[in-house]
Homo-oligomer: A and B are copies of this chain.
């Protein structure tokens, strides 16, 4: 593809200028006062598609609009669906920014601005790669569809609804998302696994009011004691979750995966140093990376009971509550685990307290078969642009929309992160290295070519 790559090189300055223009729009989806700016960003994206003569639609929702666009469909070609978002996080604490968040500023080869990496810069790589094909070849080698939302930072409600109602329109062979990071500098990654989650709140209610811990202590079940006991009983000394059946459906790590993780040369001591801790406990028999990426976990996210201010108050609290989540791995079933948890807690709950278990949200983990032809195509495209083959990683967090694509469209998602872990997504001084921006565009352009080869095209 010499002509495509030449075009990208010749247009590099303009691509940067357009990214800067996009980054000046303060499209903070969480702030109602900024809803006009959020809409302006949607319009900016739609205009980009219209210039490519894609069929483009600004779709109104109960929240911020969706932008949907597709190339003129050609029968017989494979179809990729690109997902991205044009909304950004709030900028607080504003005083920690070195340059204003909506005045893109170049320093040390990176563009600093809110949204630079998450996700305006990364998303734009796929628009510019499409542009290159259209300008150089007059056509794309595959069918491309884009769904770009404006509510990723506030829960993606409108998009979830849209996908559920438009599965046929969004039909595709694979989804492409660039909204994450490389494994390290110059070590591009394909993320082939995500953990799921099941998030709960356990509320225990005891006596009708806080009691004097002297007059009553010992004779009444203390909800805070009960909470500590019940939450502690959900995990054992070897880091195993103590919910019957919890591990039954876990897809174990393969030898190949474990070897690949080991080969990444993850520096555990540096990891601990950055977090300012002197070590860690975790599930026995697994490395730190395996625990983060591929093993289910149990974490208390919040505790609340009784007196929490300065000093001492001698009460036996009337109630206690704890929020906690399990991070799930493929193929754990959130519904099955929720039922087992409820049974276990009911069994653990002592007389004298009433228990309420709130199920806040749940979604299963996702695993893209690492030997799928789509992954191989992405690997070739990345190596073309980065001059090194990608590493294969998993991610400990959940990306609910990927689960939705998997469940609704029945397709896998290629998670191709062009950013870096220290790009400060969600923090002050967010940035995106221009070299990563340009390599991302180059890899994306090549990806359309590689995907086209899969169908023998």
Contacts and interface: CB of A to CB of B under 8 A. Distances in A.
A197 B314 contact: yes
Nearest to A210: B301
A44 to B, nearest CB: 30
Given A302-B306, A303-B304, A352 B197 contact: no
Interface string A205-225: 011100111111111111011
A300 interface: yes
Interface of A is mostly: mixed
A208 B307 CA distance: 25
A360 B298 contact: no
Nearest to A295: B218
Name, among A227, A233, A275, A305, the residue most crowded by chain B CB atoms within 10 Å (CB to CB): A275
A315 interface: yes
Contact of A279 (B291, B301, B351): B351
A34 interface: no
Interface in A312-331: 312-317, 320, 322-323, 325, 327
B311 A360 contact: yes
Chain A: interface size category = 35 or more
A231 interface: yes
Given A307-B302, A312-B199, A315-B301, A292 B327 contact: no
A395 interface: yes
Q: Count chain B CB atoms within 10 A of each CB in A217, A277, A314 and give the residue with the most.
A: A217
A207 B301 contact: no
A401 interface: no
A384 to B, nearest CB: 29
Contacts of A291: 218-219
Contact of A281 (B215, B235, B283, B352): B352
A292 B316 CA distance: 13
B224 A302 contact: yes
A241 B303 CA distance: 23
A197 B397 CA distance: 45
